[in-house]
């Protein structure tokens, strides 16, 4: 902020503008770290499909969670990022501001991510409907 990189929109309250700006920084840093780990051939400390085993839910819940995670990880990283930001409650305007993308691009990618995610859930689902 002191370097002058934080330029809030006058249309937003300062707290919301700061939250959007920090969400963009955090998502870019996570993306860069993931890319660097991939180049170094590092394995994650805990595989995403093993996260369900930490709470010890019922076997049916674990199966559902594993299917959801697999469907989520089948998406391209750009679509996963937008879908995860939308899941945290950010609007398309806020996501566009945090990722420095045009709002129509974010809306299109979010619609595509939701469609592909739903399609992969119904295609690869291994639990009863």
Note the pLDDT of residue 71. 86
- Of the pLDDT bands very low, low, confident and very high (cuts 50, 70, 90), residue 1 is low
Instruction: Give the pLDDT confidence of 48-75 residue by residue, as tens digits.
Output: 566 555 556 677 777 777 888 888 888 9
pLDDT top residue among 12 and 111: 111
For the segment 20-50, what is each residue's pLDDT rounded down to a tens digit?
888 888 888 888 887 777 677 666 666 656 6
Write out the chain in H/E/C secondary structure. Answer: CCCCCCCCCCCCCHHHHHHHHHHHHHHHHHHHHHHHHHHCCCCCCCCHHHHHHCCCCCHHHHHHHHHHHHHHHCCCHHHHHHHHHHHCCCCHHHHHHHHCCCHHHHHHHHHHHHHHHHHHHHHCCCCCC
Best mean pLDDT range from 94-98, 117-121, 123-127: 94-98
pLDDT above 90 covers a percentage of the chain that reads 22
Q: Does the pTM exceed 0.95? A: no
């Amino acid at each position: 902020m002191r370097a002058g990189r934080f330029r809030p929109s006058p249309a937003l309250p300062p707290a919301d503008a700061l939250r959007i700006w920090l969400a963009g920084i955090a998502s870019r840093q996570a993306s860069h770290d993931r890319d660097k780990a991939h180049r170094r051939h590092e394995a994650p400390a805990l595989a995403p499909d093993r996260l369900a085993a930490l709470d010890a839910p019922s076997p049916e819940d674990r199966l559902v969670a594993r299917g959801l995670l697999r469907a989520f990880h089948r998406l391209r990283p750009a679509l996963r990022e937008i879908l995860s930001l939308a899941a945290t409650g950010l609007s398309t305007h806020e996501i566009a501001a945090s990722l420095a993308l045009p709002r129509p691009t974010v809306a299109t990618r979010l619609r595509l991510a939701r469609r592909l995610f739903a399609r992969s859930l119904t295609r690869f689902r291994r639990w009863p409907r």
